[in-house]
Amino acid sequence: MAKVKIYFDPIGNVMNIWWGDKKDAYISEEVEASNRNDVIIKDKKGLPISIEIIGILPNELNVSEKIKMLIKDRKDPFILSSG
């Protein structure tokens, strides 16, 4: 039985679901739907092993959109962290 791994990036607003081995990733193809552009990752045989869902969060929870709004009108550099 294959293990499913789910990775979520709230800043990039992307979720990756892997049911195959990452090392077998060979090609990715964009899947165009009416309101989104997701990506299917396939192995050398052309079998899907992962999907990348882009824009998973609604706008009100989308961290990257919030950051864009914060820095939109700034004239000075915006630093998220320093160290």
- pLDDT tens digit string along 9-68? 888 889 999 999 999 999 999 987 767 779 999 999 999 999 999 888 887 777 777 777
Q: What pLDDT does residue 82 have?
A: 60
* CA pair distance 18, 51, nearest whole angstrom: 7
Residue 35 lies in a domain: yes
CATH code, 46: 3.30.390
What is the biggest distance separating any 2 CA atoms in the chain, rounded to whole angstroms?
A: 54
Angle at 5 between CA 27 and CA 17, to 5 degrees: 50
Residue 69 — very low, low, confident or very high, per pLDDT cuts 50/70/90?
Answer: confident
Count up the domains in the chain and report the number. Answer: 1
Q: Which of 62, 54, 68 is nearest to 11 (CA)?
A: 62
This prediction has a pTM of: 0.69
Structural domain boundaries enclosing 9: 5-71
pLDDT for residue 68: 73
